[in-house]
Structure 1
């Protein structure tokens, strides 16, 4: 066992989902062994022994009303958020996303290995099933409607969907993500777009998923900088610890739902104004700022009505969201984004006069969607496509855990039993039964 394979008390506690004091309790019971750390300060623990204890379920995970302030906590090796930075498998996520493309970062999150030049391809039969299902929706249906329906359609088309072997789950992720993108209608159609069946290379972008998604978000012709911007946004959004949609995905995986159902669970939780849809609210705010010539009246309207200003603040960061910082840097180098970026900075500066809030990733996505003529829901679409990779990663982790381990207990607040059987009224009684007097 090498030094690299030993954990500090804090790291062991995180893997087990317990307090550091509980780690020492496991040592006293003989459930864990420890060694003094070099220099005699603290203890270290065998990582394999800690993981084995976690798999056996001997740890006491905090309950919904436990000492963690109402938050569930589960061991995960995917994402760490610490000191206003976040990391994918120990590597700075912003550095990864700016150095490599979405597919490469997804492979890293899934496997811990970097696959240079990774590309995802949608199999024609699955792509056809997804497009047919999405195409049957009412004309007013949005991108999220199409993504949810496409995920179900591909699931039905895959007879091997219940294979939860890691290699099968990885294969599912590699084909499902481009299939979801391919199920979205293109934003602009020309005669050259008439044959929409080959979705492996939608332009001069090397077959990157970002290039295919771009053409579904805006009719504006992209350049290398704009495709790079979208590619980085996708990579940045792959995972962000146990957000609401990710927790929903893990609960589904804990019940051994297949990967398509896991993604469907994530998509369902994502579609809310406090999660994935938040970027749409920020988009509308920026559009209004540009229309009214400044942020002051727009921010004032929000404050007067008691509404939060969209795109500002994040409960996990004391300063600016590092994802927003990375995207703002790329947007700053794109002349077409100058007006929308200035509007965003005006919103931040104006709001700062009243409260100390910093930009989050929703505001950065809004700058991109406003600048390039995308619909308000474009940021949510980018979020959903990117986070699908994260949900697959969490499914892989959860499939390796004991099943159905996420079973919190409800705190009953209703009337105490026993109560008498309810009497049937005249309008609700069984046919032929006399009404009780």
Structure 2
């Protein structure tokens, strides 16, 4: 007997427990385990029997489980978090159900951020920061040693901005959105400018350019930088995003959650990838050939940066979109050719595709930016996505990000140490 009556035309399609279990390929008990872990929502229909489940949510979970299983994930062992923000599926990714590549082709970074935060587009939106917030963040960043990494500067700027905001402990949506719209321009303004005399006004991409390159930008370059920011806004539950959600689950304020993300981003397996790809491209440009550079990387036991992505069997859609836009930037032609040479050389025996780090390296290497610029772009872009995850996590049960440890130490009780 079915747990529910057929849904009327146009209504949300819901599944019974049995149907959800069949679609997921698990026992009915496991379906309820997914619910208890926050991976699946359930609802009782008045007058009905048992629980019902959103069919689209169940199908998305089934796809995610298949993808993780195919990538070698331990069955049932990985933390999975319910989110309505980003879906990665079949070499494409979506922001709130909208194709992210198409969305970023039509809207600026700020507009894409608003879409991720609110589900609405605010045409022409420009983020501005209070002078007091910028002043305290600049003083804190200026006190750091010159060799500090971008993540160091941005994390210090975040903490400084938090100290100047008496409303930081207000976790209401309107306040967090206000923080988001001022924190991002504050972070950019706190970075030391490469081009003195630049006025901090206009879109984020224009203001960020002055912190990354001493060259005069043209419209094509600024368009490419803005597109890179928009493409990188969010990418499901990357390591830094998970850290942000853990902080938000503990009800840390938005500044503290962003600081947690920046801390993880600094790891060499996450935010530093763009810088490695940048240096690789410069080596290829210096040699005029990718072959000796690739050979040296492999000889040293290093993987080739900028190639492959565990979530995309084919080419990273973010790389594909950014490469296409960089074709319109004349100064990017040599770096684009070098990137193609890297892909072709590395793929002679094993098919590999470019990821967004290689595309970002083409942008930074061809526009007079340092190797660390890719990390800065990534961090500024992803701050918007982190805020979206903060907002989403505040709507969930507090402290749900509390996995159980599996103890593998000595069998207790052990004698007290002498």
Q: TM-score higher than 0.5 here?
A: yes
Q: Does 2:255 align with 1:248? A: no
For 1:9 and 1:348, locate their aligned partners in 2 and report how far apart those are by CA, in whole Å.
Answer: 48
Contact 2:257 2:390 in 1 (8 A): yes
Is contact 2:15–2:54 with CA below 8 Å preserved after alignment? no
Show the counterpart of 2:62: none
1:40-86 deviation digits (Å, cap 9, x = unpaired)? xxxx95659x89xxxxxxxxxx9xx9963642111100000011000
Partner of 2:231: 236
Q: 1:318 corresponds to which residue? A: 313
Report the counterpart of residue 358 of structure 1 in structure 2.
353
* TM-fit CA distance, 1:244: 0.3
* Contact 2:128–2:182 (CA under 8 A) maintained in structure 1: yes
Matched, 1:147 2:142: no
Alignment map for 1:135-284 (pairs within 5 Å)? 135-189=142-196, 192-193=197-198, 199=200, 201=201, 207-284=202-279
Mapped contact 1:9–1:23 kept (Cα < 8 A): no
Candidates 375, 379, 402, aligned match of 1:380: 375
- C-alpha distance in 2 between matches for 1:344 and 1:118: 34
Pick aligned residue for 2:284 from 259, 270, 289? 289
* Structure 1 contact 5–46 (Cα < 8 Å) conserved: no
1:274 Cα offset (Å): 1.3
Tell me which stretches of 4 or more aligned residues in structure 1 moved more than 3 Å: 4-10, 18-26, 31-34, 44-48, 65-70
Deviation at 1:140, TM superposition (A): 1.8
Q: Cα distance, 1:5 vs. partner?
A: 3.2
CA displacement at 1:400 relative to structure 2: 0.3
Whether the 8 Å CA contact 1:279–1:363 is kept in 2: the answer is yes
| C-alpha distance after superposition, 1:13-32 (max 9, x if no partner) | 79xxx876548955xx9x64
Distance of 2:28 and 2:109 partners within structure 1: 39
* Residue 136 of structure 2 corresponds to residue 129 of structure 1: yes
Asked if 1 retains the 8 angstrom alpha-carbon contact of 2:16 and 2:53, the reply is no
Shift, 1:337, TM fit: 0.1
SS, match of residue 340 in structure 2: helix
Contact 1:184-1:216 within 8 A present in 2 as well: yes
C-alpha contact 2:137 2:158 (8 A) present in aligned 1: yes
3-state SS, counterpart of residue 98 of structure 1? helix
CA distance in 1, matches of 2:16, 2:347: 39
Rounded Cα–Cα distance in structure 2 between residues aligned with 1:414 and 1:155:
40
Corresponding residue for 2:122?
A: 115
**Could you tell me which of 298, 318, 324 is aligned with 1:303?**
298
Answer yes or no: is 1:417 the counterpart of 2:412: yes
Residue in 1 aligned with 2:92? 85
Q: Specify whether residues 90 and 22 from structure 1 end up closer, same or farther in structure 2 by C-alpha distance, changes over 3 A only.
A: farther
Work out the CA distance in 1 between the residues paired with 2:191 and 2:300: 36
Counting matched residue pairs gives 384
Shift of 1:211: 0.2
The offset of 1:208, in angstroms, is: 0.6
- Deviations along 1:82-115, one digit per CA (max 9) or x if unpaired, are 1100000000000111110000000000000111
After superposition, the Cα gap between the structure-2 partners of 1:171 and 1:341, relative to the gap in structure 1 and judged at 3 Å, is: same
Distance 1:182 1:321 in 2: 31
What displacement does 1:356 show? 1.1
**Which residue in the other structure is 1:3 paired with?**
10
Of residues 389, 394, 397 in structure 1, which corresponds to 2:392? 397
- Contact kept, 8 Å, 2:15 with 2:53, in 1: the verdict is no
Structure 2 counterparts to residues 56-75 of structure 1, below 5 A = 68=75, 70-75=77-82
Greater C-alpha radius of gyration: 1
Instruction: Specify every segment of 5 or more residues in structure 1 that has no aligned partner in the other structure, as ranges.
Output: 35-43, 52-61, 202-206, 424-437
Match among 99, 106, 116 for residue 99 of structure 1? 106
Shift of 1:331: 0.7
Cα contact 1:13–1:23 (8 A) shared by 2: no
2:401 aligns with one of 403, 406, 421: 406
> What is the distance in 2 between the residues matched to 1:115 and 1:257?
28
- Answer whether contact 2:20 2:31 (CA < 8 A) is retained: no
CA distance in 1, matches of 2:324, 2:230: 15
| Aligned CA distance change for structure 1 residues 13 and 93 (closer, same or farther; 3 Å) | farther
SS at match of 1:419: coil
TM alignment of 1:417-436, pairs within 5 A: 417-423=412-418
Q: 1:399 to 1:349 in 2, by over 3 A?
A: same
- Listed as ranges, the gaps of 5+ residues in structure 2 are 1-7, 36-41, 46-50, 59-67
Alpha-carbon distance in 2 for matches of 1:357, 1:9: 42
TM-score w.r.t. length of structure 2:
0.86
Distance 1:66 1:353 in 2: 28
